[in-house]
C-alpha cells in the first residue's frame, strides 16, 4: 500500500492518494482543489481511481468531487447523514457563498462499520460525529484518515451547523479506546507540529483527549 499526502486548494486541505501497488487501484480522500493536477498525476502513475472518499460534507473537503468524478468515473463515497444534509438548498447556498463549488450527491452512502474494497485493500468507515453529524474516519490497514475530526494536537471546529463538542469528544474517546495505539493518524489539515501522528501520541499530548481520559 502506498499513501501520498497532498495539500490542495486555497485552504490547503490534506488530500490523500491511497493505492494498492499490485493492482494499481486506488482512492482519493478529500480531493478539494488542484483537480487537474491530481487527474494528471493519476494518469502518470497509472492508477485506476475507484473511489473519491469524503471524510465529511464541508465544501472545503468536497469541492473537487465533480471534476474528478467526471474525469475518472470514480464513485463518490460519503456518510449518509452528511450526504443528505449537504444536498439541502441552504447548505449548497452556504458553500457557494464561501467560494466553493457545491458538490452533487454521493454515489455510495455509507454508515458506521461499512467496509469497501479497492485492490487488495479495504477501507472501514468509523462514524465520528462532532465536527459534522456525518463525519467519518477511514481506516485502511492501520492508517486512520481523520479529516477534521482529529488534527495533530487539536480538533476541528464545532460551531458550524451539526457541530457538537460533546459528540466530538465521545468520538475521539471511541477511537483511542477501540483502535490500536500504533494506528497512524493522517489529519485533514496541517495544523500541528508534524503532518501525521499516532493515536498513542494524541492520547498523550492532545488536550481534547487527555482531559477526558
Question: Using one digit for the tens of pLDDT, what is the confidence trace for 25-42?
Answer: 999 999 998 999 999 999
Average pLDDT over residues 60-89: 93
pLDDT classification of 138: cutoffs 50, 70, 90: very high
What is the residue whose three cell numbers read 463538542? Answer: 165
Dihedral angle of Cα 178, 184, 188, 194, to the nearest 10 degrees: 130
Can you tell me whether residue 53 is helix, strand or coil? Answer: strand
Q: What is the pLDDT of residue 98?
A: 66
Q: What is the pLDDT of residue 85?
A: 86
- CATH numbers and ranges of domains, the chain: 2-210 (3.60.15.10)
Q: What is the pLDDT of residue 172?
A: 98
CA–CA distance from 27 to each of 12, 51, 54, 201 (Å)?
A: 19, 5, 10, 27
Average pLDDT over residues 35-56: 97
Give 40's contacts (C-beta < 8 A, 6+ positions apart): none
Alpha helices in 76-158 (DSSP H): 80-85, 89-97
Q: Is the pLDDT of residue 94 over 70?
A: no
What gap in Å lies between CA 133 and CA 142, rounded to an integer? 24
Q: Is the pLDDT of residue 96 over 90?
A: no
Average pLDDT over residues 127-143: 98
Average pLDDT over residues 109-134: 98
Q: What is the pLDDT of residue 201?
A: 98
Contact 111, 127 (CB under 8 A): yes
Report residue 189 as a C-alpha cell. Answer: 489539515
Backbone angles phi, psi at 43, to 5 degrees: -65, -40
pLDDT classification of 89: cutoffs 50, 70, 90: confident
Q: Is the pLDDT of residue 3 over 70?
A: yes
Residue 15 burial class via C-beta count within 10 angstroms: exposed 0-12, middle 13-18, buried 19 and up: buried
- Nearest CA to 189 among 30, 1, 2? 30
Strand order in the sheet with 13-19: 2-8, 13-19, 25-29, 48-53, 75-79, 108-110
Q: Say if strands 136-140 and 121-127 run parallel, antiparallel, or are unpaired.
A: antiparallel
Report residue 109 as a C-alpha cell. Answer: 452512502
Can you tell me whether residue 170 is helix, strand or coil? Answer: helix
CA–CA distance from 67 to each of 20, 35, 36, 64 (Å)?
A: 23, 7, 8, 6
Q: Is the pLDDT of residue 95 over 90?
A: no
Q: What is the pLDDT of residue 90?
A: 74
Amino acid at each position: 500500500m502506498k499513501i501520498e499526502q497532498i495539500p490542495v486548494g486555497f485552504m490547503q486541505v490534506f488530500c490523500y492518494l491511497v493505492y494498492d501497488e499490485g493492482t494499481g487501484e486506488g482512492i482519493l480522500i478529500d480531493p478539494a482543489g488542484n483537480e487537474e493536477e491530481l487527474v494528471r498525476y493519476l494518469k502518470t502513475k497509472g492508477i485506476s481511481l475507484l473511489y473519491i472518499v469524503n471524510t465529511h460534507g464541508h465544501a472545503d473537503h468536497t469541492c473537487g468531487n465533480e471534476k474528478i468524478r467526471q474525469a475518472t468515473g470514480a464513485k463518490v463515497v460519503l456518510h449518509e447523514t452528511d450526504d443528505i444534509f449537504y444536498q439541502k438548498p441552504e447548505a449548497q447556498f452556504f458553500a457557494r457563498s464561501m467560494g466553493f463549488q457545491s458538490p452533487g450527491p454521493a454515489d455510495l452512502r455509507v454508515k458506521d462499520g461499512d467496509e469497501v474494497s479497492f485492490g487488495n485493500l479495504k477501507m472501514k468507515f468509523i462514524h465520528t460525529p462532532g465536527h459534522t453529524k456525518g463525519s467519518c474516519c477511514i481506516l485502511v490497514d492501520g492508517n486512520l484518515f481523520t479529516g477534521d475530526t482529529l488534527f495533530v494536537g487539536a480538533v476541528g471546529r464545532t460551531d458550524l451547523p451539526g457541530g457538537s463538542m460533546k459528540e466530538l469528544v465521545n468520538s475521539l474517546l471511541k477511537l483511542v479506546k477501540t483502535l490500536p495505539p500504533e494506528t497512524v493518524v493522517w489529519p485533514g489539515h496541517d495544523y500541528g507540529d508534524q503532518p501525521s501522528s499516532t493515536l498513542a501520541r494524541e492520547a498523550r499530548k492532545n488536550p481534547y483527549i487527555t482531559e477526558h481520559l
